[in-house]
Amino acid sequence: MKARLSAIAARRAALALALGAALAAGVGPAPALAQNGAPGFGELAEEKLPAVVNISTTQSMDDGPIPGLPEIPGLPEMPDLPEGTPFDEFFREYFGDPEGAPPRSMTALGSGFIIDPEGYIVTNNHVIAGADEITVILQDDTRLPAELIGHDDRTDLALLKVEPASPLPALDWGDSAAARVGEWVIAIGNPFGLGGSVTAGIISAKTRNINAGPYDDFIQTDAAINRGNSGGPLFNTDGEVIGVNTAIFSPSGGSVGIGFAVPSSLAQEVIADLRDDGEVERGWLGVTVQPVTDEIAEALGLESGQGALVASVSEDSPAAEAGVRAGDVILRLNGRPIEDGRALARAVADAPVDSEAMLTLWREGEEMEVEVVIALLGEEEAEAAAEAAPAPPLPDTTSTLGMALAELTPELRARFSLADEIEGVVVTDVTPGSPAMEGDIRPGDVVTRVDQETVETPETVTEAVEAAREAGRGTILLLRERAGAAAFVALPLDGE
Adjacent-strand bridge partners of 199: 187
For residue 265, indicate whether it is catalytic.
Answer: no
Q: Helices H, strands E: what count in the chain?
A: 13, 27
Structural contact between residues 488 and 311, judged by C-beta atoms closer than 8 angstroms: yes
Catalytic residue among 56, 111, 156, 440: 156
Per DSSP, the residues of 49-77 read: GGGEEEEEEEEE--SSSPTTSPP-TT---
CA atoms within 13 A on the CB side of 330: 40
The runs of H, that is alpha helices, within 284-369 are 294-300, 318-322, 341-350
Adjacent-strand bridge partners of 27: none
Catalytic residue among 126, 176, 217, 222: 126
Cα–Cα distance between 160 and 53 in angstroms, integer?
Answer: 12
For residue 156, indicate whether it is catalytic.
Answer: yes
482: three-class secondary structure by DSSP: strand
Burial class (CB in 10 A: 0-12, 13-18, 19+), 42: exposed
111: three-class secondary structure by DSSP: strand
Cα–Cα distance between 341 and 209 in angstroms, integer?
Answer: 12
Helix, strand, coil share of the chain (percent; to 5): 25, 30, 45
Query: In terms of Cα–Cα distance, which of 234, 156, 219 is closest to 188?
Result: 234
CB atoms within 10 A of CB 327: 21
Catalytic residue among 111, 230, 265, 312: 230
For residue 132, indicate whether it is catalytic.
Answer: no
Angle at 153 between CA 225 and CA 347, to 5 degrees: 95
Cα–Cα distance between 421 and 418 in angstroms, integer?
Answer: 8
Element (H, E) at 198: strand 197-208
Provide the pairing of β-strand 233-235 with 241-248: antiparallel
Structural contact between residues 479 and 486, judged by C-beta atoms closer than 8 angstroms: yes
Structural contact between residues 192 and 54, judged by C-beta atoms closer than 8 angstroms: no
List, in order, residues 6 or more apart from 37 with CB less than 8 Å away. Answer: none
**Catalytic residue numbers, as ranges:** 126, 156, 230
